[in-house]
Amino acid sequence: MGSNQAPRKLGKGLAGLLNAPAVEVFHVEQSEPGGAQKPPERSESSISLELIDRNPEQPRTEFDVELINQLAASIQRSGVLQPIVVRPSPVAPGRFQIVAGERRYRAAKIAGLVSIPATVRILTDSETAEIALTENLQREDLNPMDRAWGLRKFAERFNLSHGEVADRVGFERPTVANLIRLTELEASVGDYLASGALSAGHGKALLGAPSGSGRETLAKQAVLEGWSVRQTEAAAKRLAQAAGGNTGSEVGGEGMGYASNAARDAVMVDLQRRLGQFLGTKVEIRPYGSAGRGAVVIDYYGLDHFDGLMRKIGFDH
C-alpha cells in the first residue's frame, strides 16, 4: 500500500484560478461606455492584438528570440492552438492585460496576426501575479535570477512569508528561501546565473563568501576556470575565513557548552531551520568569539514583510 499523502504539485491553485468565471468580450474593436451586458459564465473570444498589454507582474525578463520565432512559424502553419488568458485592464478601460501566454502573444505578432484567441477572466492583482509566476516556474528555461526575483517580488508585494509563497506556487519552503537568497548576490554575479554561465548551486555557494568585490572576483574566476559547485563552495569558505567571517567549524565556540565544533554546528543548523520555519524567512545564527556571544540575523524583504515579522515575534512597534 502506498502513502495516503497526495504528492505535492506545482501551483496547486493554478488550475482553479485559470478556471475562474470567464466573461465574453462584446465588440472588442469598439467599446461603448454604459453599454455593458451581463456576461455569460464562460466563453472564448478573438481579441485584437492592439488591445492587449503585457503583464507588469511577468517574472520573465528575457525571452528566447529563436524559440519565439519557431513558435511564430508554427502559428503561421497551424494557428494559435491554445487561447491565451487575459483579464480586463485594471488601468485602461476597453483594454486587456495578459495573465498567461505572453510567448504566444509575441509569436502571434511576429506571425502577422491581427487578433488572437483569448479567454477573459476576472482576476485580482494577487491572482494575476500568482498565475504569471506559477506558469513561468513550470518552464525549465526560466533562469535562476528570474525565478529568484519573481518569488521575492511576489512575497514583498503581497506580504507573504516564504512558507506562504511555497504553498501558492507548489515549491518546498527551503527551495523558495534558497532561491530568494540569490537576490542578495551582486548584479554582476546575478548576470552569470541569468546567462547560464553559473548555476543556482554556484550562486548558493557564493553566498558563503563575504559580499562585495571579493565575491565578484570569485564568481568571475569560477566562470573562467569552469569550477564545480563544490570547488566554488571551498573557495567561498576560504575567502570568508581570510576575511574573518563565520563559516563552518572555524567559528569560535568556546563557552557554549558543546563537546565539539561539529556538535555545535549541528545544533545551530537545526535551530536556524526551526526558527526560519516559524518566522517564514531566512534566519542565520552567527556565534563568534568566546563566552557564548553571537548574533541572530533575520532577513526581511520589504517594510510590510518586516511588520509581519515583528507581529510574529510579538513586538508591537
- Euclidean distance between CA atoms 146 and 137, whole angstroms: 9
Q: Which of 102, 130, 135, 216 is catalytic?
A: 102
**130 counts as catalytic:** no
Nearest to 141 by CA among 84, 67, 209: 67
DSSP readout, 269-314? HHHHHHHHHHHTS-EEEEE-SSTT-EEEEE--SSHHHHHHHHHHHT
* Bridge partner list, 284: 297
Q: Which stretches does DSSP call E strand in 122-265?
A: none
Q: Which residue(s) pair with 53 in the sheet?
A: 97
Which residues lie closer than 8 Å to 249 by C-beta, 6 or more apart?
261, 262, 265
Residue 209 cell numbers, joined: 563568501
**Catalytic amino acids?**
102
